[in-house]
Structure 1
Amino acid sequence: MSKFRLATIAALALIPAAASAQVLQERNLPLSIAQEIAEGAVEACAAKNFSVTATVVDRAGLVRAVLLTDKAGPHTIEASRAKAYTAASARNNTTAIMENAEKNPAARHLASIEGFLLLGGGVPVKVGDEVIGAVGVGGAPGGHLDEECANAGIEKAKAKLR
């Protein structure tokens, strides 16, 4: 049998497997929940007199909602977006990513990825174990406080995250 004929038979054998492939279905973050998360995060920080911006992104890192307090600095808009993008992309909170990068020489270059910000305040939004988006908060006097507010925002919408 020729090599061409063997290659053709092998290729044809793969067609049924490709034809039976299922369409990938993914959950994503709807606008109404994104808004609720942003509101909850800003409210939690405002209760502590922190002027912040909260940005919520979907699973692909695209912005769904942005909310900032009246006195939030202009830098907090981009910081919150980058934290949310980083958390959604890496599917982990930015504090953990930052700590890993500090301890692991191989992970130090994560900060070089365009759009990544390795500061506390970015938290993935999950349904079960599936990341459907993320929230980033910027402007509190410390990343750990930004993260607390981000978690408060997620908590506000928790009943809808099913």
Structure 2
Amino acid sequence: MSTGFRQRLLLVAMAAIGLPASANAQVALSGHQLTLDLAMEAASEAVRSCAAHGWAVSASVVNADGVVKVQAKGDHSTIHTQDSSFRKAYTVITMGPIFGFDTTSEFVKKAAENPSAPALVTLPNIILLAGGVAIRIDGEMVAAIGVGGAPGGDKDEACAMDGVRKIASGLTSQ
């Protein structure tokens, strides 16, 4: 086995082992959760924001375990937008705490500098596309929103940010 192959294999194994524990530990530490009402409001605002620009998108919000809390398929959005929005949110919530990022665009930049990055995208539901954003309560990542379908991940991410901004005042300790 080559050293590079062993390093990639080790990285994949560490990520696969660490993902469930890391995501679960976030909730167990504080008990913070994103409410269904806030998740629905964030997804709706993200879809609305993109629609205002003429972009038909879908938005997904996942909890700290990476489980879908809300998925909103915008009017006239294509079927693949649901999958891409979920995968963007899932990537943020499962990889963000490990690699220290809050948006998938940050992850794309980090991955570009890491020779082992191609191994990461072999993990189920991980995607290297901009459009996912962390949702935090008291500094703790408790959920993530992903948007898919705009003509460019930067536009998806801007709409996701609009969704997070819409609920910002509600993101306090409950």
Distance 1:128 1:107, change over 3 A: farther
TM-score, normalization by structure 2: 0.77
Match of 2:80 among 75, 86, 91: 75
1:130 is matched with 140
What displacement does 1:110 show?
1.5
Deviating above 6 A after TM superposition, structure 1's stretches of 4 or more consecutive aligned residues are none
Structure 1's unaligned 5+ residue stretches are: 1-22
Residue 95 in structure 1 maps to residue 67 in structure 2: no
TM, length-normalised to structure 1: 0.82
Q: Using the alignment, how far apart are the partners of 1:147 and 1:24 within structure 2?
A: 28
Distance in 2 (alpha carbons) for counterparts of 1:79 and 1:110 = 16
Cα deviation, residue 160, structure 1: 0.2
Q: Deviations over 1:68-97 (max 9, x none)?
A: 222101000011011111111122311111
* Percentage of identical aligned residues: 38
Q: Let me know the Cα RMSD of the aligned residues.
A: 1.2
C-alpha contact (below 8 Å) 1:102/1:108 kept by paired residues: no
Q: How does 1:11-50 map to 2 (within 5 A)?
A: 24-50=29-55
The residue number in structure 2 matching 1:149 is 159
Query: Between Structure 1 and Structure 2, how many residues are aligned?
Result: 140
Aligned-partner SS, 1:100? helix
Q: Distance in 2 between matches of 1:88 and 1:103?
A: 21
- How many angstroms does 1:24 deviate by? 4.2
Change in CA separation of 1:144 and 1:24 when aligned onto 2, cut-off 3 Å: closer
Q: Bigger radius of gyration, 1 or 2?
A: 1
Give the residue type in structure 2 aligned to 1:131: M
